[in-house]
Each structure stands twice: as structure tokens, then as C-alpha cells.
Structure 1
Amino acid sequence: MTYADRPWLARYPAGSPADLEVEYATALDIFDAAVAAEPDSAFLHYFDATLTFAEVNSAADALAARLIAEGFGSGDRLAVYVQNNPAFVIGIVAAWKAGGIAVAINPMNKQRELTYMLIDSGATALLTLDDLYVDVAEPTIATGSTAVRTVFTSSPLDFQTRDDPRLFDGLRRRRLPGTNDLVEIIDNFDGSPARTPTLSADDTAVLTYTSGTTGEPKGAMNTHGNLAFNAQTYRDWTGLKPGDGVLGVAPLFHITGLVGHVMTAMLARAPLTLTHRFAPDVTLDAIRERRPVFTVAAITAFNALSAAPGATPADFESLRILYSGGAPIAPAMADRLEQVFGAYIHNIYGLTETSSPSHGVPLGVRAPVDPTSGALSVGVPVFNTIVRVVGEDGDDVPVGEVGEFVTSGPQVIKGYWNKPDKTAESLPGGALRTGDVGFMDADGWFYVVDRKKDMINASGYKVWPREVEDVLYTHPAVREAAVVGVPDEYRGETVKAYVSLHSGATVEPAELVEFCKEQMAAYKYPRSVEIVGELPKTVTGKILRRELRQPAT
């Protein structure tokens, strides 16, 4: 038996195809078809507001027309730096309507991180929230180091009137000089359609940033074909039907939120519920109000929802299709949460470079647990997908033996933006070397048992130690720094730093934590710092992270 034989197909439900015939060539084709077929159906729920497919289409036309008027051309990049707001969806569709590419940027990123991504992507336009513009984006653009020449701003209060104080207390709409207000653009739009772009499946739809082997973020080129294929994978794998609501728990800038929420809702013609950001009590109320059927989220989000004050099993009765990815699930936690939600939480697995899922547990099937490691299976490869497990020599290892996952399929990106060397390294021949280590059992189930590199996985967010270390090294007291992941009951892993100090220097660990917190997204900064006299090294002077990790595990 070889991996090319796809032994996992026996795990598919009866009648399920091994391969999909993809219905749409591009992500924009999916959206246009939904608008044509269901113009008055709900697409986005945002607190007390509902936007139909036609209304989102008109809003995206307005923004696309303004982009084009500002000189935005085919292949140009619009950076979208917002939370889980309607503005995100309007922004990415507008970029496509204008013939361009959306750049999805984490709204938790600080100025240093935003600057890098704007420069690297060459974005000429930016859509952001008004508070993010004032606090982060305006100082970045003022440096003159980016190519951004047009800025669009939106408020989290736009498109709704509830103004939930749990999220928006004290917040007000701001009209900012030097920017274009998104709502004003939409309100003043004359209805003229934007240009009709010529897009193909191989064209890049979105740049999503991921960390790489050097710690330098890389722009994964998720193509229209990638998004169209995996949106259909989600829909057909889960059996989602038109009108089945989707709960937007995962961040939309993340590949899971982009594909598992936005694209899947477009394709299934299902309403997507957004709540600006994930707050368990607010999300619980949204579930009660909108009664969604499907969501995919990190296990920590399910755990937080289960512990929300006042939550009862009845609140979750509508959520009958549940998937979790981004971080390992302990079998005991899966069992406990099933009692709360009344539905089994299925594993799903993928990377930014696989445009979300490459593996999933078939709906209604319980994932097996490896008796040796106690690991819960991440599932089986999805439609059209071949996953090999290879050794250091690149050859397939026997079934049951541990090696690196190498993935081939229509969801695999074509490469990294302006990084041909990194593309050649990670995607030789178009197959993705994932860097994740595990094995396939005799029944075709896959298990992730380790990571090949030192990446830290905190609540589904990937943190590269080198980036944290680089920030620590900018502190005047720090001589050497090493960052590792340590077990954390809630986050799965969390970030810990070990530092040695310059002679005569003094600093408290809490000061170093705060120093990093001010410069990094919330999921990246170290939750603890330990000051040591010397860090362990090889004879050549290389710091040995593994020796620091061992006592913590």
C-alpha cells in the first residue's frame, strides 16, 4: 500500500466522491453567482443588522469604483486591516472587483509588524478601522516607507445600531482627515458597476502572512482556485445547505476565517454572523439570536464559550456541525465539550499554505486516538488531496512510521510573494513540505505528533521564537535571549523567554514582558521571562533551545 493509493478513501461516507469537480473558477465567481441567485438573502449578520448579498455587492462596487478612481489597477494590492466586521468582506470583494489582490492583515499587529507587511506586499491602498488608523496605521504611513497612497477607514459601529457596550463602550465614529470614509463612499455611490475584471483560477486572490523558517513573515499567495476549491471542500465535507447559518468565530484575516467562514458562506449562500471580535458572552448572545448551524474555531474558543456565564446546552442546540483546527485537541476535552454542546467537535487540519483544510474528520465520525501517544487523529486527507509521510531523505516512510507531511492538492498555494527561494524550499515541484511531523495508520487516519521546527502554537496562532527574540534583543539590558513554547492548560502552548543580561544591567522579568507586549501582537509576547546567568550553547556558540524546553516539559 502506498500513500498514492489513498487508503483513507475507505473512511469517506458512502457515496462521497474521492475528487470534487470544482463548480467555480474564482472566488469572485462564487460571490457573483450568489448575488445573481439570492440577491435578497441574508449574507452578513452584524449585531442588529443584516446585509443581503445585493447590499454587500453594491457596497463592494462602490469601494471598487473608488479604488479604480484612485488609480488602483489590475494586480494591485489592497491591505485589509480590520476586525470581524462587514468591512472585511466588502474590502476583499472590492479588491477582486477592481482586478486586484487583498492583503489580509492581523488587526492585533503593531506598527513594526504592519510596516513590514505593507512594504513587503507593496500595497497601494489600505482599508482599516478608524482606531487602528490613529494608533498604528497613520504613524506607519507617515514614515513614507510604504507604497500606500489611499486610505479607507471604517468604524466598528458602522452597519449596526446596537452599539453593544461590552465591546464598544465609549467608542464613537470618527471622520479622519486624509482618509476616505467607507460608509460615505457607499452612501454616495451612483450604482455604476466597477470594471469587469479578467480573473483566473491561478491568479492570487489574497496574501495571507505566515512565519517561515527564518521567522520573517511570508505572504502566502492563496489563489482564486485555492479558495474556490476549499470553500467547496468545507461545504461538501460538512453538508452545509443554503440558509444554514455560519458562526464567524475565527478571525477573518486568518485562513480559517477567510475560507471556513467567508468563502464557505458565499458558496453555500448561508448567512455569516460576525461580532467584531471574539468575546464569549457576546458570541453566546449572537448564537441565541441568529441560531447558526456551523462553525470552525480553535478549541480554546469552544472552551471559552462553554464557560460563558449563563451558557446552557439549549443555547447550542442549533450548532450541529462543529469543527476545530489550529491547535491539538485533548481527547478528554473533546469528550467534555461534547456534553456541553450536544454535538461532537470534529478535528480539521491545514495550514495557511493549504488554504485551510488538507485533512478533516468526516462528519458524524469520531476520530480515533493513537494508543501509543494518546493523540487524537487530525482526520484523513480531503477530496483531491494526496498526503505523503516522508523521511529525511524525502522517500515515503512505511505506514505507522513518523515522518514529515508533504501535501499535494488544489488547495496548495502556488508560492510566497516575491520569495522564489522560499517557494522552492517549501514547495518543491508544487508539493508542500509542511514541517509538521506525524504518521498515518493502517486505516488511513493521520496523527500530528510533533513539529519539525521550533514554531510555538498558542491557541492556534503560530509564533516564531526568532521574532520574539529579535524584539528582546532591542532592550538595552538583554545580552542573549531564547524563546520556547511551554505547555499551557488553556492555550495548549504559551511563550516563555530565557534571557541573560549585560554585565551590570538590571531589569525585572515583568518589565521585559511589558516591553514585548508594547511591540507585538497579543498572542506573541512572552507570558513569562526567566533571567539566567548563561544560556546553553553548542561548541560553536549556537543557543540550544531544546535544553531550555526540556525542563519546562
Structure 2
Amino acid sequence: MGGYDERPWLARYDEGQPSDIEPEFTDALAMFRASAERNPDGDILRYFDGRITLRELDELSDAFAAGLLDAGFSAGERVALYLQNVPQFVIALVGTWKAGGIAVNINPMNRARELDLLLRDSGATVLVCLQGLYRDVAESVAGDAGVTTVITTSELEYQTRDDPRVFSGTERIDLPGTVDMAGLIDRFRGHRPPPVSFSPGDTAVLTYTSGTTGPPKGAMNTHGNVVFNSQAYRQWCGLGQDDVVLGVAPLFHITGLISHVTLSLLLGAPLVLFCRFEPSLAIETIRDERPTFTVGSITVFIALMNAPDAERDALTSLTKIWSGGAPIPPSTVTAFSATFGQYIHNIYGLTETTSPSHGVPPGAEAPVDKASGALSVGVPIYNTVVRIVGDDGKDVPPGEIGEIVTTGPQVVPGYWNKPEETAAALPGGALHTGDVGYMDDNGWFYIVDRKKDQINAGGYKVWPREVEDVLYEHEAVREAAVVGVPDEYRGETVKAFVSLRPGRTVSAEELIAFARERMAAYKYPRQVEFLDEIPKTVTGKLLRRELRTREQES
């Protein structure tokens, strides 16, 4: 199942649009250099009232790379980026590549336990993080996790507005034992690191994905993966140098990395950043900066609709909108169009597909599955073959449900230092996604269920066992089982079923607070229900499926 010649639905490909595309560059750094040579004085980053041109980004990233190399950094080493949506993310990313390194994207909501795990797994020797995150989280784990150089920075840099909606309580901090990023760049400004080049198969970024059978795994997004899907976004969405990209997706996430950062580097088009998403600030930014394109979780667009200043003309410039990361209710697409007059195109992919493997083409509207009410996630993008396979591993015909299996130039070669997990998920290079769906007679794909227990909370993936392990740390908890339950805003949220030890008491609110202190904000349970016994199999395995069914029937 796949290949454009097999699908009758897209006349646009009979009108001169390509069905396949060829990579224009061997690596992500080369595509940035081409843009910098083509339009050096064009804006590449806009951050509140700050502006950074392509020429300036080239100089800033040169200085960052020179500073890394001066500190003993070697090609192939890893640099962990523990940052919000700030210009320093892009500077450090490009600078890491110029030093011959691999970037490691880390969610800034991760707490000490989670950060420690990812630093140790990646073997990162350099950590770039916000000052507040170092003080509150990273200081306690960085050294023991193997980090030898910590570079800190403030979200107040590169702008002067200090908007209280995102910067309230933020101040610059002096942190002994760390390297100030601004000082590092000033010290090495004008230095050029030795030339470096990568092959398409070299790893550009480690992007961590929470699996459903164990701890997070570092997907090895190669330079070839990054270049291909950056080009795919450009071609699929009809983008050029005159577009302006609105950065609403987190840059550490594969969606933000590709559809915001590397796409902008390829286009040489401005990327508009505002640190953290806040609906009224986003609407104000759209009015001021006139972005034309974005990709974000459906929760972003729900928040924009519910903002006090959600007037019909608020998003008039934003004519190219796609949404991915979480299921999209068809009613939300209709409501958004009624509010702003813009259509939200679905897009689908995984960390392991380096962002998109499917998308709704511009000018088309996704059909809705009549039986389940699910909105189609689109059709396979360029050069991508997608199969629906049954439990026997054989293809099933259109209309029948099975697992989605994807091959294409955007699929990663594997997981960092995890050969067994790689062999299980990517036999022969074909990604077994774990998502269950079907393809209709016209080539549209639908996701109808999840093969495993993973929870998708507003585009963030949550592994139930991790939440359960934290709950088990509480002295009153005897057993815990965590499942995803429907949530109007996030699509799905985390609920914990808990049984208590004899003679112990604890309230739901206390358990939620306990978990919140120990986990990223999207992971901790929003609901807790107490049971005398958690349902289990005869072998003692928790029956999450039974708990989910019970929730659906209640």
C-alpha cells in the first residue's frame, strides 16, 4: 500500500507536482550554508523585538563551535539542548554541527530523574540549558551523568521586551561552575571552526521517544532524514523564502525541530519564536509578525480559539496551517474554520519518521471515517511507502484494520545503542509504528487505535510504567495502574488507579501533588481513583485494557 501511482485522489500530481523528490544536500549544515550565502542579510530568527540575520546566525554559531572545540570537544560527541523556544536553541544546534557533533534534544519540562536518564543514555559531554533549569534541576545531576561542560543562558537574551506573560519572575543568574553562553560567544566571535561535512547516514540529532516496552529511546535522526523531511515540508506545503514560520511547537520535539528550525534553515525564511506558548501572546505575535505557516498540536489551535482576543481577523496572514502529534476531532477543525476562516490540515508522523510520513495536501480537506468519526491523517508524502499489515505480517486490503508500517528516506536507521529495540521496531528498515489504522479505497489513511499502552496527552507521549513507578515511591501506595482517558482539551490525559497499603491513607490531591513534584508537567496524573484491587491477569500483569474499557463505559 503506497506509491502515488496506486492512488487516484490527487489530481495535483497530474498537473506538474512531483510525486517524488531528490535530496538537494548531503547534510543539514550544508542547507543552512546555502541559505546564508543566498541571502545573508535576511532575518532567520525573530524573538520578540530581537532580530538575527542569516549572517549573524552564521557568526554566532561559528563562535559557539569554536568555543566547544577550544574546550576539547571532539567530532561525534553529543551536546544536550535543554532549552525553551529561544534563539540559543538554533545557535547551539547549528554550532554543534559545525563542531562535528550530535545534538540531543531534551524536553525542558523534564525533571532531575528524567534528565539524568537521558544524559547518561546519550553520553552527552556538553549541556546547554537555561539558567533557571540549571539552578532548579540540572545542577544536581549533570556532573554525575558525565557532563563535563555546562553552558547556561537566559531566555531574556536577544530581546528587550521582557514580556511578563512569559518572563514573569525571570532574572539573569550568576552560576559558578558554568560557562555563560553570551560570554563564550563574545570570547570566540570572529573565530571560524575547521570545515566539517557529514554523510547522509551520519546522526544529526538524538530525539528521545518514550517507548511502550521500556525507558525512552534515542531515535537517531540522520542528516539525510533531516534534509529529506525539511524539503518535504517545503514542497508539500508550498513554501518559499518569502514565507514566515510561526514557532508554536516545542523545538526539542521532532515537529518543532523539522517544521520550524530546519525548514527555516532550508528556506532562509524567518522563524518567529516567543519562548513559551501563551495564547494571547501568540495572537499578538501573529498580528505583528504576519507569519504564513505553522505546524502545532491541536491543543494550540483550541487555545487560540478560546483566547479573549480571538477575533476573526486575528490570523489572516496564517494561511498554511497543519496540525500533528495528537488526534484531531473533526468538530475542532470546523470550529476553528468558523472562528478564523482557516482550515487545519492534518499531518502525521513519529519521532522515528523525523516528522511527517503522511499529510493532507493543501487545497484538500481530510475525509472523516463514518464509523469511528476519526479524521484522516492524510496520505503518504513523497518517496514514502506505507503498508497496513495484519498480525501475520501480511498486507491487508483497503478498509481492513492493521498495524501501520512505514518505509522511506525519513525513517531513522535505529535507536542509539539499542540494537535489540532497533531490530524489533525496524526489521529490514521498515518502521512498525505500533499505531493501528486502515487505508480507504482512495488512499486516505486513518488511525483508529493504539496497539500498545502509550498515552498521547496533547501530542506528548507518556509511558504508563514511568508514572506508575513514581506513584509506587509513595509510602501509602500498594499498587498503581495508569491509563489514558479522554480529555476535551488534550485529547487524552493521564489517570491513575491506585490501591493502598493496609492502614495507610492518602488523598487523590496529595498523590497528584506528589507525582507533579517528580515528573514533567504533561506526565503526572490529572485524575486518581482508588480501588480495593487493581485488575490483573492470573500471572499478575496489570490489565490496563480493562481499566480503559471501564472508563469508556462509565
**Separation (CA, whole Å) in 2 of partners of 1:459 and 1:12:** 33
- What TM-score results when the alignment is normalised by the length of structure 2? 0.98
Shift of 1:18: 1.3
Q: Which residue number in structure 2 is paired with residue 404 of structure 1?
A: 403
Q: Distance in 2 between matches of 1:531 and 1:454?
A: 20
What is the alpha-carbon distance in structure 2 between the residues aligned to residue 516 and residue 6 of structure 1?
A: 51
Which deviates further from its counterpart, 511-520 or 165-174? 165-174
CA distance in 2, matches of 1:172, 1:310: 29
- 1-structure distance, mates of 2:69, 2:379: 44
Distance 2:16 2:448 in 1: 31
Q: Give the stretch that moved more between structures: 387-396 or 535-544.
A: 535-544
- Structure 1 pair 59/190, CA: closer, same or farther in 2 (3 Å)? closer
Amino acid at match of 1:111: A
Equivalent residue for 1:425? Answer: 424
Distance 1:236 1:100 in 2: 29
What whole-Å deviation, never above 9, does each CA across 1:4-29 have from its counterpart, x for those lacking one? 67523642623221110111111101
Equivalence for 2:148: 149
Residue 236 of structure 1: CA displacement? Answer: 0.5
Aligned equivalents of 1:4, 1:173: Cα separation in 2: 53
2:26 and 2:272 mapped to 1: Cα distance? 26
Which ranges of structure 2 fall in alignment gaps of 5 or more residues?
Answer: none
Give me the whole-angstrom Cα distance separating, in 2, the residues matched to 1:401 and 1:311: 41
Return the letter of the residue paired with 1:58.
E
TM superposition score normalised by structure 1? 0.98
Distance 1:11 1:394 in 2: 29
Contact 1:42–1:53 (8 Å) recurs in 2 = yes
The equivalent of 2:49 in structure 1 is 48
| 1:174-189 alignment, distance < 5 Å | 174-189=173-188
- Partner of 1:118, secondary structure, is helix
CA–CA distance in 2 between the matches of 1:385 and 1:490? 32
Secondary structure, aligned partner of 1:153:
strand
**Stretches of structure 1 lacking an aligned partner (at least 5 in a row):** none
Equivalence map 1:368-387=2 (5 Å)? 368-387=367-386
Query: 1-side partners of 2:9 and 2:376: how far apart?
Result: 16
Task: Verify: 1:140 aligned to 2:128, yes or no.
Answer: no
**SS, match of residue 90 in structure 2:** helix
For 2:68 and 2:163, locate their aligned partners in 1 and report how far apart those are by CA, in whole Å. Answer: 31
SS of the equivalent of 1:138 reads: helix
Tell me which residue corresponds to 1:363.
Answer: 362
Code of the residue aligned with 1:368 in structure 2: it is P
Q: Which amino acid aligns with 2:87?
A: P
Question: Partners in 1 of 2:4 and 2:199 — Cα distance?
Answer: 31
Moved more, 363-372 or 245-254: 363-372
Contact 1:250 1:296 in 2 (8 A): yes
SS at 2:461's partner residue?
strand
Give 1:550 deviation, angstroms. Answer: 1.3
Q: Structure 1 pair 9/355, CA: closer, same or farther in 2 (3 Å)?
A: farther
8 Å contact from structure 2 (residues 60, 189) kept in 1: no
Instruction: Check whether the contact 1:368–1:377 (CA below 8 A) recurs between aligned residues.
Output: yes
Look up the match of 2:285: 286
Determine if contact 1:247/1:295 at 8 Å carries over to the other structure. yes
Please give the alpha-carbon distance, in whole angstroms, between the structure 1 residues aligned to 2:273 and 2:497.
Answer: 39
Write the mapping of 1:101-120 to structure 2, written as runs, cut at 5 A. 101-120=102-121
CA distance in 2 between partners of 1:389 and 1:241 (Å):
34
Q: Distance in 2 between matches of 1:482 and 1:297?
A: 30
Task: Give 1:465's aligned residue.
Answer: 464
Contact 2:290–2:317 (CA<8 Å) still a contact in 1? yes
1:128: which partner in 2? Answer: 129
- Kept in 2: contact 1:6–1:444 (CA 8 A): no
Distance change >3 Å, CA 9–CA 418, structure 1 → 2: farther
Q: 3-state SS of the aligned residue for 1:378?
A: coil
The question of 1:393 aligning with 2:392 is answered yes
Counterpart of 2:58, as a letter, is: N
Structure 2 equivalent of residue 82 of structure 1: 83
1:180 Cα shift?
Answer: 1.0
CA–CA separation in structure 2 for the residues paired with 1:516 and 1:155:
28
| Cα distance in structure 2, aligned partners of 1:391 and 1:6 | 23
- Asked if structure 1 preserves the Cα contact closer than 8 Å seen for 2:457 and 2:492, the reply is yes
Distance 1:150 1:507 in 2: 42
In 2: Cα distance, 1:111 partner to 1:195 partner: 35
Aligned counterparts of 2:492 and 2:524: Cα–Cα separation in 1? 13
The residue type equivalent to 1:124 in the other structure is T
User: Relative to 1, partners in 2 of residues 1:12 and 1:464: Cα closer, same or farther, differing over 3 Å?
Assistant: farther
Aligned partners of 1:4, 1:87: CA distance in 2, in Å? 40
Map residues 8-19 of structure 1 onto 2, 5 A cutoff: 8=7, 10-11=9-10, 13=12, 14-19=15-20
Tell me which residue corresponds to 1:259. 258
- The one-letter amino acid paired with 1:94 is G
1:486–1:552: 8 Å Cα contact kept in structure 2? yes
Shift of 1:190: 3.8
**Contact 2:468 / 2:481 at 8 angstroms: preserved in 1?**
yes
Per-residue displacement from partner, 1:298-330 (whole Å, max 9, x unpaired)?
Answer: 111011012211221211000000000011111
Are the counterparts in 2 of residues 11 and 444 from structure 1 also a CA contact under 8 Å?
no
> Residue 536 of structure 1 contacts residue 543 of structure 1 at CA under 8 Å; is this kept in 2?
yes
- Whether the 8 Å CA contact 1:438–1:446 is kept in 2: the answer is yes
1:550 aligns with 2:524: no
Match of 2:314, SS state, is helix
Equivalent residues of 1:9, 1:18 under 8 A apart: no
Taking the TM superposition and a 5 Å limit, the aligned residue runs for 1:444-459 are 444-459=443-458
